[in-house]
A and B are shown apart, each in its own frame.
Chain A
């Protein structure tokens, strides 16, 4: 019989590091990442599931971390924007965002990077239409999107 409880101990692996924490059932994954683990790269934009700034990859699936409870990720492997680069080196996608001026204020960028990363893993050679469809859940109010598409295209094979 599972326990009905208002909090529980969870174990998650975030960017390769294992964490064990007691979390309230009402805590959203995005708050857990930011407040409990101090991983503030995952942004809260709209907090209504529309903007995609909080996008993270959970067990290989791109999800919005504002529409998931932290307790639901017990046992999961989570990737956030902090985990993309290795040894301080930008990934080719991150470098392409810089080269193509794919960000201005940068608020949406962590979510854009996670969505584009998920796309390129599943489909290394996306068409422009596929790039647009893959980034549909991410809103940017600065760039008008074209530079973001260009950055993704630059690293597509």
Chain B
């Protein structure tokens, strides 16, 4: 498929990328392109200008701080996260990344792209909500950091506004995490998913059931408590060819139980 005509810029620094984004209304950041290029083929998005973030080393890198905080550059790929020794400090991150799509997509797709596209079927938005990630966003006006729970605003919509870039994701220390999904084929698109994390208390984030991840806080990781918390959230999931609304609600409950159990079993 031939794309609509588009201009292209490959900035040499984050500052230059921000300058180009701020100066062009129709500009879009191009991360791994594993969603955006296909969306452009379908004409569902037609940016006038692509600002290629590949090659900006400031947006790469996976670092483990002295306090156990895992800091991930937005342009780190799934493959890099699956392989990085630093990322093993929070094993769930690499484990989930290696369940996304296939080798080719994992080699190119980025954590920042996954989060900023905020497709409700993506794996990482609920995971970041469950583990309590902090997202750092820059613009020419400066830098701000917000929690994952405030990052996802709607379908394909996040707190990253025009002229802004997500630069890094910080995940606090922790190990008691879980993730469960029902997918279209092994490692395919999620029909429903759930991420869980125990850090003092249990937090479970449900994906694919609303425009943004739904976070619930069961009293404990016991099956009954988790089911109760999911029911209390009164979710009204969308229906499609893969699952009715009722079936997705059922899956959300089951997957929340599985993710919470996995989190509780890890120490």
Contact = CB atoms under 8 A, between A and B. Distances in A.
Interface of A: 1-6, 8, 24-28, 31, 47-49, 52, 55, 61-64, 66-69, 71-72, 115, 118-119, 133-134, 136-138
A131 to B, nearest CB: 12
A28 B4 CA distance: 11
A25 B104 contact: no
A63 B107 contact: yes
Nearest to A47: B1
A152 to B, nearest CB: 14
Contact of A25 (B6, B38, B41, B105): B6
B6 A67 contact: no
Interface of B: 1-12, 16, 20, 24, 33-34, 37-38, 41, 49-50, 52, 54, 101-105, 107-108, 186-187
Given A2-B10, A67-B34, A67-B37, A72 B52 contact: yes
Contacts of B38: 48-49, 67
A136 B6 contact: no
Given A137-B101, A137-B103, A2 B12 contact: yes
A72 B36 CA distance: 14
Nearest to B12: A2
A68 B37 contact: yes
Contacts of B101: 136-137
B33 A67 contact: yes
Contacts of B2: 26-27, 31
B114 to A, nearest CB: 14
B103 A62 contact: yes
A126 B101 CA distance: 20
A62 B107 CA distance: 7
A61 B33 CA distance: 15
For the complex of A and B, list the 10 residue pairs with the smallest distance between their C-beta atoms, beginning with the closest: A137-B102, A25-B8, A26-B3, A136-B102, A4-B9, A137-B104, A64-B104, A61-B107, A67-B37, A6-B7
B8 A69 contact: yes
A75 to B, nearest CB: 10
